[in-house]
Amino acid sequence: MSIRIAPSILSADFGRLEAEIQSASSADLVHVDVMDNHFVPNLTLGLPVVKRIAEVSPMPLDVHLMIEDPDAWAPRYAEVGATSVTYHFEAATNAAQVAKDIRSTGARAAVAIKPATPAEAVFDLLTVVDMVLVMTVEPGFGGQAFMPHVLPKLALLREAATQAGTDLWLEVDGGISADTISQAVAAGADTLVAGSAVFDQADRAAAIAALREAAVPA
Ligand code: DX5
Ligand code: ZN
């Protein structure tokens, strides 16, 4: 099975973002964490910065919105150049409409669920999203410990997507490293976010290669 690696720039040097993103160009997507200090207790970056990242990144942008009111904001991230926009189910007022509004721009729509949110909460959305993000840490910070107990949600989502006849990507985010990635892939993840496991290493290409190597044990 082919997998996608999405380095999270949350662990990159924000003072030299363009070079940092370039250093990870052997990956498939660049994961951009937008936090508003309301939905999560941390604050990162917003629309103008994502717009500029989209202009300089050699990789498609996988924007992860950890913000309140994604109903208003999510389509705007698609309009400034994100290839995929992920919003949190827990934050949306009309979760299906958010996905439709993202898709109407031509971008891919994705819905994320926190560790305590059951897979079943998003079953009704599987025909309007292109990806589900299953959080394997509490959203808000990089470098936290992987939560393997959430992984059974991936099989439930895959089964529901197959029944709905949709080609769904399944992403995991949080605590992914060369030690944990094979568990996530074995559980059904095909798109793997890794922040500290890539950007805390001096050689980002080697770190990405190590994740690919570890993803599917020989
Ligand atoms: C956390 C963010 C993640 C974060 C992952 O809320 O959504 O994308 O960067 O960092 P690591 O891979 O270090 O757990
Ligand atoms: Zn993220």
Ligand 1 within 6 A of CB of 142 = yes
Write the burial class of residue 218 (CB in 10 Å: 0-12 exposed, 13-18 middle, 19+ buried).
exposed
User: Residues 47-66: pLDDT tens digits?
Assistant: 999 999 999 999 999 999 99
Catalytic residue (choose from 62, 101, 130, 173):
173
Does 218 have pLDDT greater than 70? no
Ligand 1 atom closest to the CA of 11, numbered from 1: 9
Helix (H, G, I), strand (E, B) or coil at 109: strand
29 CB within 6 A, ligand 1:
no
pLDDT, tens digit, 9 for 90 and up, residues 94-138: 999 999 999 999 999 999 999 999 999 999 999 999 999 999 999
pTM exceeding the 0.95 threshold for the entire prediction: yes
Return all residues near 143 (Cβ < 8 A) that are at least 6 apart.
11, 195, 196, 200
Task: Report the C-alpha gap between 13 and 200 in whole angstroms.
Answer: 10
Distance CA 56, CA 43 (A): 22
CATH domain 4-215 topology: TIM Barrel (3.20.20)
Contact 6, 191 (CB under 8 A): yes
Ligand found nearest the CA of 11: 1
Q: Clarify whether 69 is annotated catalytic.
A: no
Judged by its nearest atom, the ligand closest to the C-alpha of residue 200 is 1
Amino acid found at 69? D
